[in-house]
């Protein structure tokens, strides 16, 4: 099993941080890289002309490695919502068809389609949160419902951000293919921790940021675009997305045709080498450890916590229905007022999400953190 990586982070022993699903701390290496990068921006004359491009390609390759893609299939973007908007520009939704989303899914894979539906003549069907916690069965039932309009797209998260509910994207992808429907997956809460293989899954789009599980900065995200969609018009029109529009040329617009791969969908002002380098470091660390080893460690921690709270009258989802790295705890009558704040006052950090407590450890956590969480929660619930 992967051992705790706490020594690679600046986390005091008295801090029990179990909120990676919101923000991860940055590794020490990443902090130092950020400081150095800021200093480089202070003296831009010291930079080689190719420096930013080298950082971009390093990040693109690191992102591709996490999902078994090719670097040419990855676009550099600032956010999940940017990636969804790009997909919406590329992918026409036929009138009279359905787009499937999840109830209370994060805003990014939902709002774009809700905004477009009326004008473009399609409907958005929301899969309600299942009482039994089985998101996969609920999504499959919606896709395959007899007599319903054809599904043109499912735009869903692979792990529900609020309750850690796990969606079996391979089963969903297979069901969508049988109907000739497209698949957009927001893997914010799974890339790096759960194995994602786009060659096997064959989705149309996969989108993920770095600031949660990938140990990176805010504002850096990546869009996988299947080769069948790499001939579309980008959200932004940039010189970098064209074959030969360069300031160094005697003729600026030498060849304004688009580049032939997902690089055409790169965001404007992509050469933000300060945080791009920081993003690369975290993704490379995660890939070196490997998703199976990370998943094994985090399963151990969440199961240790689940076992510790079972006698407290707290609802714990079944492991087969939840992601192994996110534990959502339910309380009869609702979560006690002030519980989250009270635990934080003792150095234990978790998140309130839709009436439940979300606990999300990462590689920097250890068994002592899990046991301390259980001890503090037990004492505060008894009080």
Span 341-364, pLDDT tens digits: 999 999 999 999 999 999 999 999
Query: What average pLDDT score do residues 249-269 get?
Result: 97
Residue-wise pLDDT for 77-124, tens only, equals 999 999 999 999 999 999 999 999 999 999 999 999 999 999 999 999
pLDDT at 260: 96
Please tell me the pTM assigned to this model: 0.96
Mean pLDDT value across residues 229-242: 97
Mean pLDDT over 48-58 rounds to 94
**Res 198: pLDDT:** 98
Burial of 358 (0-12, 13-18, 19+ CB in 10 A): buried
**7 has pLDDT over 90:** yes
Q: Say if CB 324 and CB 165 are below 8 A apart.
A: no
User: Mind listing the domains of the chain with CATH numbers?
Assistant: 6-18+290-382 (3.90.1150.10), 34-288 (3.40.640.10)
Average pLDDT, the chain: 96
- What percentage of the chain exceeds 90 in pLDDT? 96
List the strands of the sheet with 314-315, edge to edge: 314-315, 327-331, 356-359, 351-353
User: Is the pLDDT reported for residue 273 higher than 90?
Assistant: no
| CA 135 and chain centroid, separation | 18
Stretch 281-292: mean pLDDT, rounded? 98
How does residue 1 score in pLDDT terms, banded at 50, 70 and 90?
confident
- Is pLDDT above 90 for 177? yes
* pLDDT tens digits, one per residue of 136-161: 999 999 999 999 999 999 999 999 99
Angle at 297 between CA 292 and CA 302, to 5 degrees: 120
- Interval 196-225: pLDDT, tens: 999 999 999 999 999 999 999 999 999 999
SS3 301: helix
pLDDT at 383: 85
């Amino acid at each position: 099993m992967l051992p705790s990586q706490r020594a690679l982070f600046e986390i005091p022993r008295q801090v029990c941080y179990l909120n990676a699903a919101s923000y991860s701390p940055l590794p020490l290496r990443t902090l130092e890289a950020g400081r150095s990068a800021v200093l480089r921006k202070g003296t831009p004359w010291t930079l080689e002309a190719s420096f930013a491009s080298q950082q971009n390609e390093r990040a693109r390759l690191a992102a591709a490695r996490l999902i078994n893609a090719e670097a040419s299939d990855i676009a550099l973007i600032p956010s999940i919502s940017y990636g969804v908007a790009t997909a919406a520009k590329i992918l026409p939704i036929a009138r009279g068809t359905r787009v499937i989303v999840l109830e209370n899914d994060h805003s990014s894979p939902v709002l774009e389609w809700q905004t477009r539906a009326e004008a473009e003549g399609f409907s958005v069907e929301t899969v309600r949160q299942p009482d039994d916690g089985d998101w996969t069965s609920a999504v499959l039932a919606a896709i395959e419902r007899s007599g319903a309009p054809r599904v043109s797209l499912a735009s869903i998260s692979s792990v529900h951000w609020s309750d850690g509910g796990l969606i079996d994207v391979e089963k969903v992808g297979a069901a969508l293919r049988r109907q000739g429907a497209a698949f957009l997956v927001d893997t914010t809460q799974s890339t790096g921790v759960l194995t994602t293989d786009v060659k096997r899954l064959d989705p149309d789009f996969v989108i993920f940021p770095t600031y949660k599980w990938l140990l990176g900065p805010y504002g850096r995200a990546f869009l996988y675009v299947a080769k069948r969609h790499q001939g579309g018009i980008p959200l932004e029109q940039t010189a970098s997305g064209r074959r030969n529009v360069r300031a160094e040329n005697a003729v600026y617009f030498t060849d304004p045709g688009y580049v032939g791969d997902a690089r055409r969908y790169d965001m404007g002002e992509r050469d933000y080498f300060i945080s791009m380098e920081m993003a690369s470091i975290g993704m490379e660390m995660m890939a070196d450890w490997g998703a199976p080893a990370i998943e094994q460690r985090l399963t151990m921690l969440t199961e240790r916590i689940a076992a510790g709270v079972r006698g407290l009258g707290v609802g714990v989802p079944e492991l087969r229905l939840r992601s192994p790295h996110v534990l959502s705890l339910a309380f009869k009558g609702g979560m006690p007022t002030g519980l989250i704040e009270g635990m934080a006052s003792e150095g234990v950090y978790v998140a309130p999400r839709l009436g439940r407590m979300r606990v999300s450890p990462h590689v920097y956590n250890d068994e002592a953190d899990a046991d301390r969480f259980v001890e503090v929660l037990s004492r505060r619930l008894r009080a």
